[in-house]
Structure 1
């Protein structure tokens, strides 16, 4: 694979998707930095696992060690002050009348990308990488491909730049996300994502399931667990076919 000389800024939360996106960026770009956001999220444990994850990603290979640069943590607590959601308050996760779960935080990804673009401008980075997905998600409108394409146009017009927004998970499901991690970093990366990333909306870090830590009941855990089961089944079937 040819390595681009472009510099990438990865929106890195410490979850499965953003860790896979970080590996994806490290396999493609010569310089990679990360940005994380503290927005008063209920599952703030993800902010705790980020430093260890980044350290382990740097130690994965000499190539990744050289490419992975600074990490930037941004305070966006303004989001929790403006919103009333199950992602920012200790309330039950339910579906709303508009068809969206109350884990949807209006404007969150739009603000994330805007702030990331501002930082990328200052840091001389011309690619933003995010884990937004339209295939296997909770229906959030700010995760859709049309939203990201429109945002790319708006950012470039408003900042007179040529930023490119990359969303490598946009058209794949969670099983394929596990498979992508394996393709990028083998079993070692899959195991790192299993044991060290955090996805659970409720912030549960107790038991380590075959698919990772989590409550196993919230939408994020259900997606992750189902995807891992499908991925593992495919691995088993491939092994049987080769025997």
Structure 2
């Protein structure tokens, strides 16, 4: 990273929780338009499909090539959380059918995953001199995960501020957007070039499928993540999101 980026104030700097999926890519583009310095952090928590860890690097490289504010993009950090993934087993970390649990939550829910992510992100941000943590959590088009809710993340922000004594701000630009509105925001931020990047490079499918290229991108087409992505894309293209 250049010394010029290193010298930017903490309150003008953001660390984006970046998986290489559609939502985190939209959040990265959002952060690059709102902050003078942006870094990214990824988490290897023993995902069933390591395609996510490869995809995120491809997306970062493309962003550096095509996004207008890419000069603000600094270091990428990767944290090994395989131990956590082994404890918090779900259909995302072991081979099992995706279905609803007795609690009324899909078994794709990894208990406490986002909370753990933010603790590690805050530790990295403290070392890097960054006050803003950006995540793609959403209450509108989501599967009911309790650690995606606004009140959960507001409480987490307070815990981090108290526990680390730093004025952290958790930013969630997608919190109240539908998936169609996320597609629209992506287009607003980067035009057709950014939309094409999301379609071609990002990965969201729970099953790790990248064989067939659909109109909305790659994926199995049947898991909850693919269904949300496909439906949102069609609604955006038809103007139903307005």
TM-score w.r.t. the length of structure 1 is 0.93
Q: Residues 183, 97 of structure 1: CA spacing in aligned structure 2 closer, same or farther, 3 A cutoff?
A: same
Match of 1:25 among 18, 27, 31: 31
Aligned partners of 2:88 and 2:55: how far apart in 1? 25
Work out the number of aligned pairs and report it: 233
- Which 4+ stretches in 1 moved above 4 angstroms? none
Match of 1:226 among 219, 223, 231: 231
Aligned partners of 1:220 and 1:61: how far apart in 2? 25
TM-score w.r.t. the length of structure 2 is 0.93
Unaligned stretches of 5+ residues in structure 2:
1-9
CA contact under 8 A between 1:5 and 1:31: conserved in structure 2? no
Q: Give the alignment of 1:1-243 within 5 angstroms.
A: 6-61=12-67, 63-64=69-70, 66-234=71-239
CA offset at residue 108 of structure 1?
Answer: 0.4
CA contact under 8 A between 1:26 and 1:68: conserved in structure 2? yes
| SS of match in other structure, 2:97 | coil
CA contact under 8 A between 1:38 and 1:74: conserved in structure 2? yes
CA offset at residue 59 of structure 1?
Answer: 1.1
CA offset at residue 63 of structure 1?
Answer: 3.0
CA offset at residue 46 of structure 1?
Answer: 1.1
Report the counterpart of residue 5 of structure 2 in structure 1.
Answer: none
Aligned partners of 2:221 and 2:165: how far apart in 1? 45
CA deviations on 1:53-106 (whole Å, 9 max, x unpaired) are: 111101114531x20000001100012220221010000001011110000000
Aligned partners of 2:11 and 2:102: how far apart in 1? 47
Aligned partners of 1:228 and 1:220: how far apart in 2? 12
Report the counterpart of residue 241 of structure 1 in structure 2.
Answer: none
CA RMSD, 1 decimal: 1.5
Aligned partners of 1:210 and 1:85: how far apart in 2? 29
CA contact under 8 A between 1:39 and 1:77: conserved in structure 2? yes
CA contact under 8 A between 1:176 and 1:231: conserved in structure 2? yes
Q: Residues 227, 62 of structure 1: CA spacing in aligned structure 2 closer, same or farther, 3 A cutoff?
A: closer
| SS of match in other structure, 1:171 | coil
CA contact under 8 A between 2:140 and 2:178: conserved in structure 1? yes
| SS of match in other structure, 1:27 | helix
Aligned partners of 1:164 and 1:62: how far apart in 2? 25
